[in-house]
Structure formats: C-alpha cells, structure tokens
Amino acid sequence: MLSPEIPSDEALRQQALDDNELLDTPADPYLDTLVRVVREVFAVKTVLVSLIDHDRQWFKARIGLEADATPRAISFCGHAILGTQALIVEDTHNDPRFNDNPLVLNNPNIRFYAGHPLFSAENQALGTLCLIDPQPQKLTAKQQSLFIDMAALVEGYLKLRNDSEQTVQLRAALSREQRKAMLDPLTQLWNRAGLNHFLPRHQQQADDLDLQLGVLFCDLDYFKKINDSHGHAAGDQVLWETARRISAAVRPQDVVTRSGGEEFVVLLQVHDQQELLQIAERIRSAMSNTPLDIDGLHIKLTISIGATLRTAQDAPNDALKRADQALYQAKGNGRNRVEFAN
C-alpha cells in the first residue's frame, strides 16, 4: 500500500482548512442534497465530501457510508488533493498503489474511486468530492465533465459558506475541540451537550430580535420495531436519514440536535405559535409522506412532535420540559401528530 504524500505547503493547506471552520460541524442540508443527487447521477454506492485533516479524512457530507472519518494514511482522497485534476481509479485490484489498502480488502471494499480536489479561496486543497463503488467502473468523457461540474458546485458552496454570518458566529462561539465534544458522530447533529450550549444563546438572540424562542421535541414512532425487525445497523441508518429530513425541513438559523436515542430537539426563533407549528408540521410531513429507503427496504415511519414557546417567566429548562410533556401528549393521542403546550 502506498500512503499519500504530505504536500510541500501542508502548513498553509491545513491553516486554510482550519480557517474555513468546516471540520467537526453539523451536517449541511445543501451538501446532503448534493451528494444524494451525485450518487443517483453516477449510480455509485457512496459519495463523500471529504476533508483532509492532520491525520484523518473527515466527511462533511456522506451517503452510502456509515463511518464519519478514516485515517489519512490509508485515504484515497489524501492522494487526490496532491493534484489539480480528478484522480480516477477504475479498478483498485489492478492498481499497485491501492490493491492492498485496508479500505479495498475490507469494508467498504473499494474497487472504483474518483476524487476531485476542492480548493479554498487561497487555492489550497481542502479535500475532495469523491465517488466510491464496490464494483470496477469506467467514466465516460461526458461523465468526467459532469463530475468536474459537480465538484465546482461543492467548492463554490464551501467558499460562500466561509463568508456567511453563521460561520462567523460559529468561529466566535465555539472552538474546534468544543465542537468535537458536542457533535453526535452518527447523525452529525449537535448532541445533548450542544443543546445545552445553544439553548441560552438562542434565548438571548430571540430576545434581542424581539422574537420568541420555540422548542420542538421530536420522537420517532415505534422505532424499537425497526431495530427488532431489521437490526441495529438499519436503525442507525434510519436515525441518520431522520436527521437529514429534519434539517432540510427547518431553516438555516434553526438548531437541530439529537438529545438521545430516537429523540431530536429543535430550537427556533419565531414570531408566534402559528409559525412554530407550521415548521413542526413540515417536519412531520417530511417523515410520513415518503418511506425511507434503507438498503433497498422501503420503511414507512412517522414522528410525534411536542411544541412550545418560552415565556418570560420560564427558567432555562422549563420550555424543554413543557415541549417534552407535549410530546407525550402527542404519543398518547395517536402519534404522527403535533401537540402544542401553552
């Protein structure tokens, strides 16, 4: 196996990656949508937006792979960032650089790889958009051109994101080590510690903007049946897809967290109860209207939601408790519904 070389300007490259505040951040609905479309277009099992860190490659967006990172020393993308054009390996078994790579010999059993480097505004390679499949493949000239275009979309979005107000706020609010401790590796959402961190800040922002803090407590219905019938691996995929659907149903400024198990909590700044319930209904519909495709299984799943608005008299966790009570009311009233607690 040939480990990737370290670029001669590695210090500058790593600094550009760190400055972009992409590592160890929550999943992005736009990138999640893009990798899903790319997978359909190229008919491969896995598509990744991979970022090359000091000693790992970390996946900002992924579909078709459960792991959120792999060691840099065995990464294909570590090789891809050394050039300016796409690195295409049609069959790893015929390539001495990769034929004995652990990612070839073991899961995910890579036979085909294509990775296009993604560059920062300073022209430093941050990572790649890559295609992976367990079967050998050959891209046509048209497919290669389309792959370049898809990579340009990802790269352009990352540059826009770097200049966004959200990224500026993230830089000011949390260090990278803090983010690592607050990120759920399975769903790539903020975890319970993240919820506790953002709750008082969201409350203060709502007050400053003369808005109300809304809380949505979301819980998958009959999730235990998924684990019992299809196994915990399928259950993990259901949680991952649920996180994607909830994030896509809310707004960019809303904070989506996985508080534990199959429970998700969303913090929102809204004008009134009607606006809060409209967003809650979007989440409920996103889950119930379309079955989840899990390894070829079409799993129909619903979600129950408890909603509330923080009042001026509330202690810090009162709104969370009230939304949780509303969730249990939704469960008791038949599930697959939204209940509001005054």
Mean pLDDT, the chain, whole residue set = 93
pTM of the complete model: 0.85
What is the average per-residue pLDDT within 27-40? 94
CA distance 320 to 198: 13
Residue 210: the pLDDT is 93
Which residues of the chain form CATH 3.30.450.40? Answer: 10-166
Please, which residues have CB within 8 angstroms of residue 74's CB and are 6 or more apart in sequence?
1, 3, 101, 102, 103
CB 69 within 8 A of CB 80: no
Name the 3-class secondary structure at 72: helix
H runs (alpha helix) in the chain: 10-19, 29-42, 77-80, 102-105, 141-162, 165-173, 176-182, 192-208, 223-230, 232-249, 273-288, 318-332
What letter represents residue 166's amino acid? Q
The DSSP annotation for 230-251 comes to H-HHHHHHHHHHHHHHHHHHS-
Tell me the helix, strand and coil percentages in the chain, rounded to 5.
45, 25, 35
Residue 76 amino acid letter: F
Q: Give the active site residue among 21, 155, 241, 262.
A: 262
What's the start-to-end Cα distance of the chain, in Å?
62
- pLDDT (tens digit per residue) in 13-29: 999 999 888 999 999 99
Q: Do 296 and 287 contact (CB within 8 A), yes or no?
A: no
User: 275 CB contacts (<8 Å, ≥6 apart)?
Assistant: 214
Omega of the bond leading into 291 within 30 degrees of 0 (cis): no
Active site residue 165: no
DSSP character for 190?
A: B
Q: What is the CATH number of domain 10-166?
A: 3.30.450.40
pLDDT value at residue 253: 87
Q: CATH topology for 184-341?
A: Alpha-Beta Plaits (3.30.70)
Domain with CATH 3.30.70.270 in the chain: 184-341
pLDDT in tens, 197-244: 999 989 998 999 999 999 999 999 999 998 888 888 889 999 999 999
pLDDT higher than threshold 80 for residue 163: no
Q: Which residues contact 194 (CB under 8 A, 6 or more apart)?
A: 182, 183, 255, 257
C-beta separation of 327 from 221 below 8 A: no
